[in-house]
Amino acid sequence: MKEAVKKIKFDIVTIFPKIFDSYFNESLFKRAKEKKILDIKVHDLRDYTEDKHKTVDDSPYGGGPGMVLKVEPIHKAVKKLKPNKKTRVILFSTRGKKLDSEMAKRLAKYDRLILICGRYEGVDERVAEYIADEEVSIGDYVLSGGEIPAMVLVEAVSRFVPGFLGKMESLEDIKGSYPSYTRPEVFETKAIGPGQLGHSQKKQKTKKWKVPSVLLSGNHVKIEEWRQNN
Residues in touch with ligand SAH (CB under 6 A): 92-94, 117-119, 121-123, 137-139, 141-143, 145-146, 149
Q: Which is nearer to ligand SAH, 155 or 163 (CB)?
A: 155
By beta-carbon proximity to ligand SAH, the closer residue of 38 and 68 is 68
CB of 123 to ligand SAH, least distance (A): 5
Nearest distance in Å: CB 124, ligand SAH: 10
> At closest approach, how far in Å is the CB of 100 from ligand SAH?
13
In angstroms, what is the minimal distance from the CB of 191 to ligand SAH? 37
Cα 88–chain centre separation: 16
Distance CA 171, CA 157 (A): 12
Nearer to ligand SAH, 35 or 95 (CB): 95
- In the complex with ligand SAH, the residue whose CB is nearer, 77 or 117, is 117
Residue nearest to ligand SAH (CB): 118
Closer of 139 and 184 to ligand SAH (Cβ): 139
- Cα–Cα distance for residue pair 230/212, rounded to 1 Å: 11
CB of 104 to ligand SAH, least distance (A): 14
Output the smallest distance, CB 144 to ligand SAH, in A: 6
* Region of residue 154 (left: phi > 0; alpha: psi -120 to 50; beta: else): alpha
For ligand SAH, the closer of residues 94 and 204 by Cβ is 94
Q: In the complex, what is the shortest distance from the CB of residue 80 to ligand SAH, in angstroms, rounded to a whole number?
A: 20
Nearer to ligand SAH by C-beta: 49 or 94? 94
3-state secondary structure the chain: CCCCCCCEEEEEEECCHHHHCCHHHCHHHHHHHHCCCEEEEEEEHHHHCCCCCCCCEECCCCCCCCCEECHHHHHHHHHHCCCCCCEEEEEEEEEEEECCHHHHHHHCCCCEEEEECCECCCECHHHHHHHCCEEEECCCCCCCECHHHHHHHHHHHHCCCCCCCCCHHHCHHHHCCCCCCCCCCEEEECCCCCCCCCHHHHHCCCEEEECCHHHHCCCHHHHHHHHHHC
